[in-house]
Amino acid sequence: MENNIKIPKTRNGRATFNLIVDTTIDLFYKKGYFKTKIKDITDSAGIAAGTFYLYFPNKLSLYKYILMQFQHDIRRTIAESVSNVKGRFEKEKEGIKTFIQYSLDNPHAYNIIWESLYIDKKLFIDYYDGFAKRYERGLNPSIKDGEMHDVDTELVSYILMGVANFIGLKVLLDLGKNNDDIDEVVEQVMSIIKTGIFKD
């Protein structure tokens, strides 16, 4: 496996590995990456200092692992939720709802993902570039099928990621009004995107 992480093979090892990961997610969320020391992680997890190094060569490798897990988890959660939905527009609506619900269920996700910008800008770039490229691949067939206008799918993927992220932030941080009912917020947002904002 890349990133020099040792995934344990035994059940006990996996339990310890997961304990380290969960403890670190919690600490990264509360204190941020830079203020979290490996000693804080092992102290909070109640394990010996050396145990950390059985699995992770350093804090950065653990951060990268957590970032990759979030990415997989978000993609898989969205893919599952839209798999039985028919039509590109309805799929996008369901996808954005799922993304926002995911952010509420995992409030540390935003923090930890965006912190990559400060830890190693390349991680941030890879994260969003990777997300956009997969998004594009999903959108392209919808143009052929006549469900979407013949638009630049790269730009559309950034537009929709921007909308999902900022509406998600609004709900997550409770900015402005009407953040209680995610379904209703996303219905309205998608209706605005469908009808358009500006008159001719």
Q: Could you tell me how far CA 28 lies from the centroid of its own chain?
A: 15
Which residues have CB under 8 Å from 75's CB, separation 6+?
Answer: 131, 134
Please pick, from the candidates 104, 125, 140, 141, the single residue that binds a copy of itself as defined by CB under 8 A. 125
Please pick, from the candidates 117, 141, 181, 183, the single residue that binds a copy of itself as defined by CB under 8 A. 117
Closest CB 3 distance from a copy of itself, rounded Å: 22
Let me know: does 111 contact 29? Beta carbons within 8 Å: yes
Closest by CA position to 114, among listed 58, 63, 151? 63
Please pick, from the candidates 10, 12, 84, 195, the single residue that binds a copy of itself as defined by CB under 8 A. 195
Smaller CB separation from a copy of itself, 62 or 132: 132
Segment near a copy of itself (CB under 8 A); pick from 2-10, 64-72, 77-85, 155-163: 155-163
Closest CB 176 distance from a copy of itself, rounded Å: 5
Q: Give the separation between CA 83 and CA 94, rounded to whole angstroms.
A: 10
CA atoms within 13 A on the CB side of 40: 16
Question: Is residue 25 at the binding interface for a copy of itself, with CB under 8 A as the rule?
Answer: no
